[in-house]
């Protein structure tokens, strides 16, 4: 493993994350939040396997992850949908992974989440655009795995804004909701119309992935580097980091890509560890922590050439 750069809260490694997992202390990671290459028919520039070979490949990582997460820690896995080759029927690899991780590895499925990305393009073109016999696939599955039945979690950290109707109720309780006391003496309004600071979120996360003018992409364009083609939006890891961890907990992304997870963890005062096998992706991921375009190029070029960059004091070493 090669430590490529370090910030105030995190470390970014270049290499095979299987080796990184071997080096980490058991029961030391509070959250593994990651999105591996999916089981897709078309090969991607960042690499992907297919079928049973893919499932066994991912299981090798998950087996090591289980040893490394804390007893009350969590493992959140983002997986996109896919079709079977040549037919308009779904590949169920993501469900096979779920069953394998629970029944063979001993994980618990704490809860399933679904990420609705309204910005997703229609695919596959053959069935959706040309023949028009399937709807647009706009949802990824996110499996929230845990080692125990009671992982650390606090939904109060991820409350969502109240609906307009609920806001009206809270502002004028008597006008919108004034139930009579029941014969038993039980008042069903107690606690119902209390302002808790927000509503409990659902397990459908509606987060568009429409990044087009971020600092990361601007700096990639400036230095002539290609940004990672499969970035997820910061609000996705933000939800789980807030929900499942406390400040100074450790968040790990074993398929780090552009390091959205690390940047988000740092902004939320969590420690983070990143790893990616592709040196170019590691080099461009540091752009998230650059102060300006000139520094961005300097950081990128040093990592491309195998040099370590220390950003803990926001100065180059």
Distances (CA, A) of 225 to 1, 35, 296, 312: 24, 22, 11, 24
d(CA 146, CA 236): 18
**Of 35, 74, 123, 146, which one is the catalytic site residue?**
35
When pLDDT is cut at 50, 70 and 90, the band that residue 210 belongs to is confident
When pLDDT is cut at 50, 70 and 90, the band that residue 187 belongs to is low
How many CB atoms within 10 Å of residue 234?
A: 18
Looking at every residue in the chain, the average pLDDT score rounds to 89
| Tokens (6 digits) for 297 | 């190029």
Express each pLDDT in 74-111 by its tens digit. 999 999 988 988 999 999 999 999 999 999 999 999 99
Decide: residue 311, CB within 10 A, 0-12 exposed, 13-18 middle, 19+ buried.
buried
Q: How far apart are the first and last CA of the chain?
A: 20
| Tokens (6 digits) for 138 | 């706009």
Express each pLDDT in 3-18 by its tens digit. 999 999 999 999 999 9
pLDDT of residue 269: 98
Q: Does 198 score more than 90 pLDDT?
A: no
Express each pLDDT in 17-54 by its tens digit. 999 999 999 999 999 999 998 765 444 443 455 678 89
**Of 36, 37, 151, 237, which one is the catalytic site residue?**
36
Is 253 known to be catalytic?
no
Q: Mean pLDDT lowest for which of 17-26, 182-191, 298-307?
A: 182-191
Strand order in the sheet with 108-116: 204-206, 108-116, 139-146, 69-79, 29-34, 250-253, 271-276, 10-14, 2-6, 309-310
Please check whether residue 269 is in contact with residue 32, taking contact to mean a CB–CB distance below 8 angstroms.
no
Is 124 known to be catalytic?
no
**Of 17, 37, 74, 78, which one is the catalytic site residue?**
78
d(CA 255, CA 60): 13
User: What secondary structure does DSSP assign to 18-52, as a single string?
Assistant: HHHHHHSPTT-EEEEEE-PPP--SSPPTT----HH
Which has the closest alpha carbon to 311: 251, 295, 218, 275? 295
| Tokens (6 digits) for 213 | 């003018």
Decide: residue 25, CB within 10 A, 0-12 exposed, 13-18 middle, 19+ buried.
exposed
Report all structural domains of the chain as residue ranges with CATH numbers, in order of start: 10-159+201-211+234-277 (3.40.50.150), 161-199 (no CATH)
d(CA 235, CA 166): 24
Query: What is the model's pTM?
Result: 0.89
Q: What is the mean pLDDT of residues 141-151?
A: 98
Is 36 known to be catalytic?
yes
Contacts of residue 132, Cβ cutoff 8 Å, sequence gap at least 6: none
- Length in residues, the chain: 317
Q: Mean pLDDT lowest for which of 90-94, 191-195, 226-230, 276-280?
A: 191-195
């Amino acid at each position: 493993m090669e430590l490529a750069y370090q910030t105030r809260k995190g470390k970014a490694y270049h290499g095979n994350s299987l080796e990184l997992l071997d080096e980490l202390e058991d029961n030391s990671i509070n959250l593994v939040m990651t999105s591996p290459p999916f089981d897709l028919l078309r090969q991607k520039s960042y690499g992907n396997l297919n079928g049973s070979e893919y499932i066994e490949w991912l299981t090798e990582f998950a087996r090591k992850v289980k040893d490394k997460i804390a007893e009350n820690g969590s493992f959140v896995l983002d997986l996109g949908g896919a079709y079977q080759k040549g037919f308009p029927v779904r590949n169920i690899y993501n469900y096979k992974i779920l069953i394998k991780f629970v029944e063979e590895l001993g994980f618990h499925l704490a809860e399933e989440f679904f990420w609705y990305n309204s910005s997703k393009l229609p695919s596959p073109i053959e069935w959706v655009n040309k023949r028009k016999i399937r709807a647009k696939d706009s949802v990824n599955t996110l499996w929230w795995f845990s080692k125990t039945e009671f992982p650390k979690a606090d939904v109060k950290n991820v409350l969502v804004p109240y609906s307009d109707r609920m806001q009206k109720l809270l502002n004028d309780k008597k006008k919108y909701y004034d139930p009579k006391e029941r014969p038993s003496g039980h008042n069903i309004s107690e606690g119902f119309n209390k302002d808790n600071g927000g509503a409990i979120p659902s397990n459908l996360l509606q987060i568009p992935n429409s990044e087009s003018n971020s600092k990361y992409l601007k700096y990639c364009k400036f230095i002539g580097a290609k940004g990672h083609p499969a970035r997820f939006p910061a609000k996705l890891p933000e939800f789980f980091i807030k929900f499942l961890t406390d400040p100074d907990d450790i968040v790990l992304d074993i398929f780090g890509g552009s390091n959205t997870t690390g940047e988000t963890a740092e902004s939320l005062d969590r420690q983070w560890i990143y790893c990616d096998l592709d040196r170019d992706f590691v080099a461009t991921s540091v752009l998230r922590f650059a102060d300006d375009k000139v520094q961005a190029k300097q950081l990128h070029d040093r990592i491309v050439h195998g040099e370590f960059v220390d950003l803990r004091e926001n100065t180059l070493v």
